[in-house]
Amino acid sequence: MLPGRHGAGVFDELQLQALPCESEWDGSIAYLDRDGVLNTGSPDYINDVGELKVMTGVPEAVGALRRAGFRVCVVTNQSPIGRGLWTDKRLATIHDELEAQLLQADVDAVLDLILYSPHVPWAGSPFRKPEPGMLMAARQLLESSGSIDGFDIEAEFNEARSAMVGDRRSDLRAGKNHGVRVFHAPEQIGLPAVVNRVLDADDEGDDIMSAPV
């Protein structure tokens, strides 16, 4: 019941692009939900590239995170795969388009890693939000550049500056369960509404009750 990884097997070597900043990476990760944070969400899912609408200011916000020394990881629940509505291949085309639109608007708006949970809510997967498994997996993949053959659920890392941004309570609960700051992004505005708060290391984040269920 592992998560899926865009463009590769989950344990394949991860080739990271250099951060567009002078300092070395200090381990900070911006964990981002997708729908309602990067692109406009839909109650009927984003089913193809024609339905993907990146919200205003999102590319620049992603670029700002990386310029400030954050690795950026998308962690998204995608149960249509588990429900048999469509396949990982269709999801890959959507994520290819998401990456292309971000980079077209801001050359620094690189998504270092995209993980997704194909599991249905009733499967009890530890890699489906609000469980923290995708965040834990992302941390270990980014720390090791993917040169691992399994996840250590007991591993501990310095997440002092890291943050989870989501538009739903399940996103914030996943962040809290992983031990990072959490920020509620209004679903019609997304990441640009909170990016400056994420960049402020003194901002302790939001209470999970600030987000809708």
Q: Is 145 left (phi over 0), alpha (psi -120 to 50) or beta?
A: left
Which position among 26, 35, 44, 202 bears the catalytic label?
35
Q: Is 202 a catalytic residue?
A: no
d(CA 61, CA 108): 10
With CA atoms as reference, report the closest residue to 187 among 161, 163, 203, 210: 210
Q: Is 12 a catalytic residue?
A: no
Which pair of tokens denotes residue 45? Answer: 């899912």
Active-site residue numbers? 33, 35
